[in-house]
Structure 1
Amino acid sequence: MAPAAIKAPISFDDLTKIDIRVGTITQVLEVAKSDKLMKLIVDFGDHQRSILAGIKQERANPQEIEGKQALFVVNLPERKMAGEVSQGMLFDIGYEDKLTPCLACPEQTVPNGTRAG
């Protein structure tokens, strides 16, 4: 893989606007009206969210990520897709470079809701 060009610079203030948190994926559910999306139920410590992720075709068994901690962007507006509401975005590695995506996750267990950055 040849690394992609680095994107245009942003300010530090722009970076601090993104709220990335650790959450534990407690359930991975089918989205009936989609060939790509799976519904993740994610525990952020003080609350749970439903987050849709396009992982159905990327993994032989999408349920294999149940119980794992991962990084999520949590301050995006809610978005309706395939009849379901997504309350954030899974922050994974590889998709944009046409690689099989993998989770971005902490190297050791941390409390759910811990902020990245």
Structure 2
Amino acid sequence: MSISSEPAATIGFDDFLKVDIRVGTIVEALPYPEARKPAIKLVIDFGGTIGLKKSSAQITKHYRPEDLPGRQVLAVVNFPPRQIGKFMSEVLTLGVPDADGEVVLLAPTLAVPNGGRLY
């Protein structure tokens, strides 16, 4: 994914509130060799009314599937599902690029309850 490093247009606070970013715990992570770009299929537990959601994440540079279960991550939970090859991704797992442009996952620095909303 290529995203400009230029700042985005200014938005109002009400626009920010439309993006529902929640914390969840990865409960399952599997290789996704069929993806066009190397990826890992995730199942993330957001607790409460959101529950378990699937995500395809291009995070293979820094993460191995076997090391991800139990790790908390942040994700956008109110985008429509997106077909990634034969896999339906239900949430957008968030990350930022390292110096080489590889994804580093966003996560809380302390354990927090699943489903907590970013504010």
TM over 0.5: yes
Aligned twin of 1:30 = 31
Aligned twin of 2:70 = 67
Mapping 1:12-91, distance limit 5 Å? 12-34=13-35, 35-46=37-48, 47-56=51-60, 58-59=61-62, 61-91=64-94
Task: State whether residues 51 and 90 of structure 1, in contact with CA within 8 Å, keep that contact through their aligned partners in structure 2.
Answer: yes
SS at match of 2:66: helix
The alpha-carbon deviation at position 108 of structure 1 amounts to 0.9
Gaps of 5+ in 1: none
RMSD across aligned positions (CA): 1.8
Task: State whether residues 78 and 85 of structure 1, in contact with CA within 8 Å, keep that contact through their aligned partners in structure 2.
Answer: yes
CA distance in 2: counterparts of 1:89 and 1:65, whole angstroms: 16
Aligned twin of 1:93 = 96
The alpha-carbon deviation at position 98 of structure 1 amounts to 4.1
Task: State whether residues 28 and 40 of structure 1, in contact with CA within 8 Å, keep that contact through their aligned partners in structure 2.
Answer: yes
The alpha-carbon deviation at position 113 of structure 1 amounts to 0.4
Deviation above 6 Å: which 4+ runs of structure 1? Answer: none
After superposition, give the CA deviation of every residue in 1:56-103 in whole Å (9 maximum; x if it has no partner). 3x23624322211010000000111110110011111216x7433222
- Report the TM-score when normalising by structure 1: 0.84
Q: How many residues align?
A: 112
Query: Percent identical across equivalent pairs?
Result: 34
- Report the TM-score when normalising by structure 2: 0.83
